[in-house]
Amino acid sequence: MVRGSAIVAAIGCLLALAGCGGADERRADEAAAQRWVLAYGAQLDQWTRDARQTAAAAAAEDWPRLARIVRRVGRQGGAVRERFADVPESVADADTLYALLVEAGEAAAEWARVYRTAPPPYLSNDEGIARSRALSAAVEEFQRKANRAASAASGEPADAAA
């Protein structure tokens, strides 16, 4: 499961306020950094909720609901690169955080693509088993990358969630 809730607690750790510029400029930079970090955490929290919902929908064999959730995850993943591209300089480890979130977004988009190609339910034959494994691998890759992004934001080493 994606560990996004730790993000909100770590927001203060991510901000490294620049010492240059006037007070108004520093406040504007700080506000922009806080908005970016909050949006980063909110995205990871949304993916955490989506992961829970996909598990519940799959368990209930509610395939239409599962399809809607996976499409939403894929759309969000596809939008991450552009949505988070304007990283304020005062965000600590900004390049790393952005790169990890983009990787998670790309994995989310790939999960949605794999799902679209061969949605469940699957038959218990070789083809069904192969499709199920491909979907499981895409989900696991997304979760691994989203966990890395969450770990980096909370100050853990990025490899801790790998």
User: Backbone phi, then psi, for 108, in 5-degree steps?
Assistant: -65, -45
pLDDT digits (tens, 9 = 90+) for 34-56: 999 999 999 999 999 999 999 99
Helix, strand, coil abundance in the chain, percent, nearest 5: 75, 0, 20
Tokens describing residue 11: 């927001």
Confidence of residue 28 (pLDDT cuts 50, 70, 90): confident
Check whether 8 has a pLDDT greater than 60: no
pLDDT digits (tens, 9 = 90+) for 93-152: 889 999 999 999 999 999 999 999 999 989 999 999 999 999 999 999 999 999 999 999
Question: pLDDT at position 96, please?
Answer: 93
Check whether 23 has a pLDDT greater than 90: no
| Calpha distance 48→60 (Å, rounded) | 19
Question: What is this structure's pTM?
Answer: 0.79
**Which residues have C-beta within 8 Å of that of residue 2, sequence separation ≥ 6?**
44, 47, 48, 51, 143, 146, 147, 150
Confidence of residue 13 (pLDDT cuts 50, 70, 90): very low
